Amino acid sequence: MTNPAWPASLPQEPLAQGFSEQAPNTLLRSQMEAGPPQMRRRFTAGIRNIECQVRLTPAQVDLLDTFFDATIAGGALPFD
């Protein structure tokens, strides 16, 4: 099954102003009885938090709401 695609009629790139990205924390730290704590990867991939802004018309806001609520189940499903 393929992922749904981002709607073509919505902006394809965010505005540069207000863009931020946070790398995922995939490490697990284990305290040892002696010596420094050991660290290892908990996951091979993690969720990357991205905040951005896009300029939308009222019609595009409706389309985005429908895409989010119905197509990707409130953000539960991935999309391309």
Per-residue model confidence (pLDDT) at position 5: 95
CB 6 within 8 A of CB 12: yes
Per-residue model confidence (pLDDT) at position 72: 96
Q: What is the pLDDT along the chain (80 residues), one digit of tens a residue?
A: 799 999 999 999 999 998 999 988 888 889 899 999 899 888 887 888 899 999 999 999 999 999 999 999 999 999 99
| Separation of alpha carbons 67 and 80, rounded Å | 12
Per-residue model confidence (pLDDT) at position 43: 81
Per-residue model confidence (pLDDT) at position 13: 93
